[in-house]
Structure 1
Amino acid sequence: MSTPPLLSAEALKVSFPGRRGAAAARAVDGVDLDVGPGEIVALVGESGCGKTTLARSLLGLVPPTSGRVAFGGVPLEYTGGALKAYRRRVQLVLQDPSGSLNPRHTVYDAVAEGLRIHGYAGDEQAAVARALARAGLRPAERFFLRYPHELSGGQRQRVVIAGALVLEPELIVADEPVASLDASVRGEILALLLRLRDELGLSALVVTHDLGLAWNIADRVAVMYLGRIVETGPVEELLTTPRHPYTQALLSVLPESSVEPVVLAGEPPDPSDVPSGCRFHVRCQVLASGRAQQAGVAAACRGRDLPVLGGGPGSRVACHWAAAVAGAGPASDAG
């Protein structure tokens, strides 16, 4: 029997009202996604694809329009007490440490804030020191009275991570955790997240636009486009043999890629006006090149929607062309 997921989303939708009577923006439009115990899942996609809204909904910061979020198999309740208890077990690590840290607070106060909010009854100083040490700031006491402006970018991000660790959560959601750091420090922070997974059994959902980052840290990858997961699978399989044209395009522009870069046409469509059929078809290089026509799925690409992918382990793709090439035929339950 497979291990039940620690965090799961089922048929999750998040819509925002349109302005002046316009259609609602479908930021998250039917997503199933699981994160298992001790697993790192990378959620990848362009800016505006809905991945940050999805992450915030998983954290309970944005209530879903429909669907559900569950932790440890228990549906999340959107009441003050339930959310407070949940956020002790699931913590957020933000992209910009400079914006996450109050410049008037010392490192000690920044890390101790969560303990104070949750009424921690133990030894606060020992808990803060333990969290800083786990985040790689040693000796921890040397950092207690420092202010954010006295730290390097990498040290500030470690303080943010320590603030998440101090409550000893079971899962962290890291939104672009290394985007603001230079390349050398980026590797150190990624190594830290891996070490925390190995030493503490910590699970993580890492939100990123960078498939190269996913290669270095994730066990599994979910690729998101216009509110939906379009491909998911184990990191090595998905990044070496991507099946969705969108995933292929994202991989083609990585510096280490050996294939010709794919330049996608235009910008992603407005989430208040999602195209019929496959939502990627208006930018799809496979459709534009005639390969979808040759496979006999061009009409399906333009006019037939695809099923929501299951969120658990295993490789899945939502693509008429990929299904046809694999021999499953268009609009199969595999994609």
Structure 2
Amino acid sequence: MTTTEPVPSVPPAPAAPLLSAENLRVAFPARRGDTARARAVDGVDLDIRPGEIVALVGESGCGKTTLARSLLGLVRPTAGRVTFGGRPLDYSSRALKAYRKRVQLVLQDPSGSLNPRHTVYDAVAEGLRIHAYAGDEREAVSTALSRAGLRPPERFFLRYPHELSGGQRQRVVIAGALVLEPELIVADEPVASLDASVRGEILALLLRLRAELGLSALVVTHDLGLAWNIADRVAVMYLGRIVETGAVEDVLSAPRHPYTQALLSVLPDAPGAPVVLTGEPPDPSRIPSGCRFHARCQILASGEAERAGVADACREEDLPILNGSGASQAACHWAETRAPQGPRGTGRKPGPR
């Protein structure tokens, strides 16, 4: 009797990206009396795949909101390109209108996002009217409100923003994005203005929408605790570049870039003393040579980079742009000299703050 050797299983190829940035750059005009342009986004590669939640993390002023706006077509890149569904983004008015039906923005402050003179019904129906929706408007609004957790939806139709709690207002904003049945949402600090008691509810809602609708999301945040609780992948941004990226468990359990380590050190339950970064991020119109983080880097300041033989490289040699794939990567001369470390921390996921 002959036996058949088992055929090794081949893991399925990852899905093609839904949205991609390729060597994206956004520079703003110089200030009066200055010739250097501010490089807010200075070479970014980033992919978001169908059904994936990616967290874009960094300090205020690092360029993450400008990157998000360029992915939405609200800011036209100086160089590089954005692709959606494999096609480069078309910046004509008609094409952008069609694109924004498929990619929706959820802003940080629901109070500022909602017109105080519009009822909940009108706020959610606004997108349908802009896009000349031909179906049953009332049914579409009801479905969107229900998906956002406002049930029964009819109870909210005639209410105004000031009559709602902060969490309810954010759900109305999310319903306004969902009503057009987008494939991807860009959520800019979606829970930053909410009380701690309702942040977890909104994060749970975003996860449920991903599970039920296959919705992809880019979540822009300064909070690594939030990223850990919601994201599949995380991209850490500093001074216009992504400096570390990978699966959320890899990056946040065993961070390799000193900047990521510093951001994690201030979370609740983080081991050891917080890393206090000295000074502010450099001016984006005067990005330093070498690693753009080196002037604030605790590894360089402590002498560890010198002992590893990379201190001069840190100060003088630029690093390549990370390729934005699912692989864990860190743009750091010191990290390149070290094998990936085992998990760090308490073993618990930090909760959203």
What TM-score bracket applies, with the shorter chain setting the length? over 0.9
> What percentage of aligned pairs have identical amino acids?
81
Residue in structure 2 matched with residue 156 of structure 1 by the alignment: 169
Q: Partners in 2 of 1:68 and 1:225 — Cα distance?
A: 20
For residues 241-285 of structure 1, give each alpha carbon's deviation from its aligned partner in whole angstroms, at most 9, with x where no partner exists.
Answer: 000000000000001211210000100001000010000000000
Deviation at 1:21?
Answer: 4.0
Residue in structure 1 matched with residue 331 of structure 2 by the alignment: 318
The question of whether the paired residues in 2 share the 8 Å contact of 1:45 and 1:225 is answered with: yes
The question of whether the paired residues in 2 share the 8 Å contact of 1:295 and 1:325 is answered with: no
Q: Partners in 2 of 1:205 and 1:92 — Cα distance?
A: 10
SS in 2 for 1:198: helix
Q: Partners in 2 of 1:162 and 1:312 — Cα distance?
A: 30
1:44 pairs with 50, 54, 57, which one? Answer: 57
2:153 pairs with 128, 140, 152, which one? Answer: 140
Deviation at 1:184?
Answer: 1.1
Unaligned runs of 5+ in 1: 328-335
2:287 pairs with 251, 255, 274, which one? Answer: 274
1:5 pairs with 17, 25, 28, which one? Answer: 17
Residue in structure 2 matched with residue 19 of structure 1 by the alignment: 31
SS in 2 for 1:205: strand
Q: Partners in 2 of 1:181 and 1:166 — Cα distance?
A: 23
The 4+ residue runs of structure 1 with deviation greater than 6 A are none
The aligned length equals: 327
Q: Partners in 1 of 2:46 and 2:188 — Cα distance?
A: 16
Residue in structure 2 matched with residue 330 of structure 1 by the alignment: none
Deviation at 1:2?
Answer: 2.2
Q: Partners in 1 of 2:268 and 2:322 — Cα distance?
A: 29
Residue in structure 1 matched with residue 3 of structure 2 by the alignment: none
Deviation at 1:325?
Answer: 1.8
For residues 258-316 of structure 1, give each alpha carbon's deviation from its aligned partner in whole angstroms, at most 9, with x where no partner exists.
Answer: 12100001000010000100000000000000000000000000000000000111101
SS in 1 for 2:325: coil
Q: Partners in 1 of 2:20 and 2:225 — Cα distance?
A: 25
- AA aligned to 2:23 is A
Q: Partners in 2 of 1:314 and 1:39 — Cα distance?
A: 15
- AA aligned to 1:59 is L
Q: Partners in 1 of 2:87 and 2:58 — Cα distance?
A: 28
SS in 2 for 1:83: helix
Q: Partners in 1 of 2:33 and 2:335 — Cα distance?
A: 38
Unaligned runs of 5+ in 2: 1-12, 341-353
Deviation at 1:161?
Answer: 0.1
Deviation at 1:80?
Answer: 0.2
**2:69 is the counterpart of 1:65:** no
